[in-house]
């Protein structure tokens, strides 16, 4: 065994001088320095599966919204969750071992540490997005899997959430918690049927234009559409644009969720009319934001905060109307990047509890798991809703006392099915938004009208060492470097409805600064001031 492990590592030598980190989104960097990482991830995935007695583990090759020349890889736990933190650390150590012999030694060390019987089966599901480097990197991963003697299933091109879906479905197959049929078709059938049932005869107004970021989401949505009711059958008219995967160099270029959210404008190719609903996916379709242009051609973004508030209010109504208000509570989980107006709307108007966690889906997911119904979204459009096992049980067993209660309960049950609970899923999320809008008979203007976003500004500052910036209170306050938070507080005091914070990015070598205030001018001014405080602090040795 040790010989083949070392051989696989030797075939894909680690480039000198690069330190890899398994971060918020797995390993992610320029694709041409990732071969060694992929081979070693194959080893780690096999060990993880064996440590869990042969449960299926997922490996997704993607760099999401990053430029086309980047790539990355992330591991998925059996229920479709993100990799356990302890294993993130082990993965990082493995990726940074210098020689093939070191790799083999560490492999055996981990096997001993976790008392892993190397003769138990290892099962791994792999998939990738549409990047040009994906097939080469898949080859490296497979070399690692074969060296470790793992059984693997290659699903080819998949969105990240499709991979999570298949992993969870494989591991729950034949149990009372069976999530779905563990195939691509099974995914479309599950979400297609749930969409139809959740609409329950309500007809979506107008059409939806979906920007696929020239990534894997476009063609997969085109496939999903075949399983949805047509417009004539009372379904939704969907136009898929920016779905050119033949030219992988166009991935995320001037399109996609990150472009729209960062630039606060529609992709230049957009040709839609006033008040037409649009949304943009990212490169691996685990993130979505909505937007439209009004009759004066002004752009309006409906981001992750908006999706969370819309969905929380809808679920709240359904719970009440089904007669479950005393049994089930709903909470919303956000990060510090959520607009203050959204937080306020959830607490004051929807009267729901808000939790704030550090940035990164895994933190939001963990916090949401503690709630009966946890609605979690990052402002940039990553998110979903999760239902606790007890809540699902209550919903399934509940006996409605009137036709109106039954009506609401049917919609609630179908909505549960429509939500990808393994992970935030742009395709499932966009269908969910459409269901809510159809039930409320709302267009984008009514949705936007629920509250008014505070003007805000997000910038980043390059410093010599971002790791000196340490935060507390869900990243909303700096504890290091000394005295910096005091300076930020002093600036925040000077503007109306001011709020600002600075934190080191987990995915880029920069410190991000967020500011919001009563007016655009004040928000931008505050962001500038805080950025210069950070810059000065970052320059000091």
Ligand X SMILES: CC(=O)N[C@H]1[C@@H](OP(=O)(O)O)O[C@H](CO)[C@@H](O)[C@@H]1O
**Does the annotation list 184 as a binding residue?**
no
Which of Mg ion, ligand X, none does residue 286 bind to, with CB < 5 to 8 Å depending on kind?
A: Mg ion
The stretch near ligand X (CB under 6 A) out of 96-104, 111-119, 197-205, 374-382 is 374-382
Provide the pairing of β-strand 477-480 with 277-281: unpaired
The stretch near ligand X (CB under 6 A) out of 45-53, 273-281, 481-489, 504-512 is 504-512
CA–CA gap between residue 278 and residue 210 (Å, rounded)? 6
Q: How many residues bind ligand X (CB under 6 A)?
A: 15
Provide the pairing of β-strand 456-461 with 151-157: unpaired
Residues 272-291 that bind Mg ion (CB under 5 A): 282, 284, 286-287
CB of 122 within 8 A of CB of 151?
Answer: yes
CA–CA gap between residue 69 and residue 73 (Å, rounded)? 14
64 forms part of the interface with Mg ion (CB under 5 A): yes
128 backbone dihedrals φ, ψ, rounded to 5°: -150, 160
CB of 445 within 8 A of CB of 453?
Answer: no
CA–CA gap between residue 465 and residue 535 (Å, rounded)? 11
Pick one of 91, 171, 357, 380: the residue that binds ligand X (CB under 6 A): 380
Cis peptide before 481 (omega within 30 of 0): yes
Q: Which residues are the active-site residues?
A: 64
Q: Least separation, in Å, of the C-beta of 528 and ligand X? A: 18
Q: Least separation, in Å, of the C-beta of 255 and Mg ion? A: 14
Pick one of 217, 248, 316, 360: the residue that binds ligand X (CB under 6 A): 360
- 207-211, strands of its sheet edge to edge: 237-241, 207-211, 277-281, 288-293, 299-302
Per-residue contact string for residues 51-90; x = within reach of ligand X by CB under 6 A: -------------x--------------------------
Q: Which residues contact 240 (CB under 8 A, 6 or more apart)?
A: 210, 212, 218, 221, 222, 225
- Which segments within 312-369 are labelled E, that is strand? 330-335, 353-357
280 forms part of the interface with ligand X (CB under 6 A): no
505 forms part of the interface with ligand X (CB under 6 A): yes
Which of ligand X, Mg ion, none does residue 184 bind to, with CB < 5 to 8 Å depending on kind?
A: none
CA–CA gap between residue 217 and residue 222 (Å, rounded)? 9
Q: Least separation, in Å, of the C-beta of 138 and ligand X? A: 22
75 backbone dihedrals φ, ψ, rounded to 5°: -105, 145
In the complex with Mg ion, the residue whose CB is nearer, 143 or 425, is 425
The stretch near ligand X (CB under 6 A) out of 202-210, 409-417, 449-457, 503-511 is 503-511
Pick one of 152, 165, 337, 447: the residue that binds ligand X (CB under 6 A): 337
The stretch near ligand X (CB under 6 A) out of 223-231, 394-402, 488-496, 501-509 is 501-509
Q: Which of 430, 73, 68, 77 is nearest to 216 (CA)?
A: 68
Which of ligand X, Mg ion, none does residue 508 bind to, with CB < 5 to 8 Å depending on kind?
A: ligand X
The stretch near ligand X (CB under 6 A) out of 130-138, 223-231, 316-324, 506-514 is 506-514
506 forms part of the interface with ligand X (CB under 6 A): yes
Pick one of 508, 528, 532, 536: the residue that binds ligand X (CB under 6 A): 508
CA–CA gap between residue 346 and residue 343 (Å, rounded)? 5
In the complex with ligand X, the residue whose CB is nearer, 407 or 508, is 508
CA–CA gap between residue 494 and residue 119 (Å, rounded)? 65
In the complex with Mg ion, the residue whose CB is nearer, 257 or 504, is 257
359 forms part of the interface with ligand X (CB under 6 A): yes
Q: Which of 145, 96, 90, 147 is nearest to 113 (CA)?
A: 90
CB of 256 within 8 A of CB of 280?
Answer: yes
Residues near Mg ion, by CB under 5 A:
64, 282, 284, 286-287
Q: Name the binding residues for Mg(2+).
A: 64, 282, 284, 286
Q: List interacting residues with ligand X (CB under 6 A).
A: 24-25, 64, 337, 359-361, 378, 380, 382, 505-508, 512
């Amino acid at each position: 065994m040790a010989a083949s492990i070392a051989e696989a590592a030797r075939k894909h030598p680690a480039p000198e001088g690069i330190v890899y980190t398994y971060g918020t989104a797995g390993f992610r960097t320029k694709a041409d320095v990732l071969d060694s990482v992929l081979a070693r991830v194959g080893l780690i995935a096999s060990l993880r599966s064996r440590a869990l007695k042969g449960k299926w583990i997922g490996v997704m090759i993607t760099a999401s919204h990053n430029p086309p020349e980047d790539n990355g890889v992330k591991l998925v736990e059996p229920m479709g969750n993100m990799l356990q933190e302890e294993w993130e650390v082990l993965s990082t150590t493995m990726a940074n071992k210098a020689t093939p012999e070191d790799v083999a030694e560490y492999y055996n060390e981990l096997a001993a540490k976790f008392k892993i019987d190397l003769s138990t089966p290892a099962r791994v599901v792999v998939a990738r997005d549409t990047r040009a480097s994906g097939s080469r990197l898949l080859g490296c991963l497979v070399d690692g899997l074969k060296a470790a003697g793992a059984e693997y299933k290659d699903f080819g091109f998949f969105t990240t959430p499709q991979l999570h879906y298949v992993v969870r479905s494989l591991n729950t197959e034949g149990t009372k918690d069976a999530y779905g049929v563990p195939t691509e078709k099974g995914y479309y059938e599950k979400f297609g049927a749930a969409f139809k049932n959740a609409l329950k005869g309500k007809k979506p107004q107008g059409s939806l234009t979906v920007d696929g970021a020239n990534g894997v989401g476009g063609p997969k949505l085109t496939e999903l559409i075949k399983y949805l009711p047509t417009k004539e059958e009372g379904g939704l008219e969907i136009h898929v644009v920016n779905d050119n995967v033949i030219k992988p160099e166009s991935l995320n270029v001037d399109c996609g969720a990150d472009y729209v959210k960062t630039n606060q404008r529609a992709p230049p190719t957009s040709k839609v009319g006033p008040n037409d609903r649009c949304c943009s996916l990212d490169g691996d379709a685990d993130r979505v934001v909505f937007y439209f242009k009004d009759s004066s051609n002004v752009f309006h973004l409906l981001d992750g905060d908006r999706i969370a508030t819309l969905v929380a209010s809808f679920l709240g109504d359904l719970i009440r109307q089904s007669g479950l208000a005393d049994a089930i509570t709903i909470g919303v989980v956000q990060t510090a990047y959520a607009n203050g107006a959204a937080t306020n709307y959830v607490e004051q108007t929807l009267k729901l509890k808000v939790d704030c966690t550090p940035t990164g889906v895994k933190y939001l997911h963990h916090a949401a798991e503690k709630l009966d119904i946890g609605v979690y979204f990052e402002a940039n459009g990553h998110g979903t809703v999760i239902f606790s096992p007890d809540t699902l049980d209550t919903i399934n067993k509940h006996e409605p006392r009137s036709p109106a209660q039954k009506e609401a309960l049917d919609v609630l049950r179908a909505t549960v099915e429509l939500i990808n609970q393994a992970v935030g899923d742009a395709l499932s999320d966009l269908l969910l938004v459409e269901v809510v809008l159809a039930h409320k008979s709302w267009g984008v203007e009514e949705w936007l009208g629920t509250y008014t976003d505070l003007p805000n500004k997000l910038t980043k500052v390059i410093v010599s060492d971002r790791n000196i910036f340490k935060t507390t209170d869900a990243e909303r306050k700096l504890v290091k470097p000394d005295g910096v938070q005091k300076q930020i507080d002093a600036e925040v005091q000077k503007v109306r409805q001011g709020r600002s914070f600075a934190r080191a990015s987990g995915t880029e070598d920069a410190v991000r600064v967020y500011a919001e205030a009563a007016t655009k001018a004040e928000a931008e001014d505050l962001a500038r001031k805080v950025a210069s405080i950070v810059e000065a602090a970052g320059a000091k040795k």
